[in-house]
């Protein structure tokens, strides 16, 4: 949902990205502005479908770590009850905005869930049973 919300409200997300990561070159702002929402959609969709769970959990860790870095930086600036700047894009219009501490809490839970998946799932490229057509057909 966050990735879709960021793509729909791309201009606002891009502006928040520039403000928060002003120490990065502009070329990285443009790359991250498009890459972050797309990666969120791919990882989230894979989790929903149950496809390549272990691989997606591993790929989600650097992404969520980046979110934790930004939220921790906002907290260090004393913005505890400040609304998270476009953490969930246009989806925030439906569900309301989160404070920085709430967004950070969600990010920490996501890291813990990714670690659970990493340590409990079978192979890196394991697909769910429903994904294998031959087994469904009884062959």
**Predicted local confidence at residue 137, as pLDDT:** 63
Tell me how far apart the alpha carbons of residues 47 and 118 are, in angstroms, rounded to a whole number: 13
Tell me how far apart the alpha carbons of residues 127 and 129 are, in angstroms, rounded to a whole number: 6
**Predicted local confidence at residue 51, as pLDDT:** 84
Ramachandran region, residue 96 (left: φ > 0; alpha: ψ -120 to 50; beta: rest): left
Tell me how far apart the alpha carbons of residues 7 and 11 are, in angstroms, rounded to a whole number: 9
**Predicted local confidence at residue 109, as pLDDT:** 94
What is the count of structural domains for the chain?
1
Supply the range of the domain harboring residue 61.
2-137
**Predicted local confidence at residue 64, as pLDDT:** 93
Per-residue pLDDT 10s for the chain (139 aa) are: 888 888 877 777 777 777 777 777 888 878 888 888 899 999 999 988 888 888 999 999 999 998 898 888 888 887 666 676 567 767 776 767 778 888 888 899 999 999 999 998 777 766 666 666 655 566 5
**Predicted local confidence at residue 16, as pLDDT:** 72
């Amino acid at each position: 949902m966050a990735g879709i919300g960021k793509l729909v409200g791309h201009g606002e997300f891009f502006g928040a990205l520039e403000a928060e990561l002003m120490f990065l070159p502009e070329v990285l702002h443009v790359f991250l502005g498009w890459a972050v929402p797309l990666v969120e959609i791919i990882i989230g969709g894979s989790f929903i479908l149950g496809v390549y769970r272990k691989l997606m959990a591993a790929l989600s860790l650097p992404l969520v770590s980046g979110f934790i870095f930004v939220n921790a930086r906002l907290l260090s600036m004393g913005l505890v009850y400040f609304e998270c700047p476009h953490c969930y894009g246009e989806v925030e219009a439906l569900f309301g905005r989160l404070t920085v501490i709430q967004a950070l809490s969600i990010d920490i839970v996501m890291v813990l869930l990714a670690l659970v998946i990493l340590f409990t799932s079978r192979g890196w490229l394991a697909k769910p049973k429903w994904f294998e057509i031959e087994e469904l057909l009884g062959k």
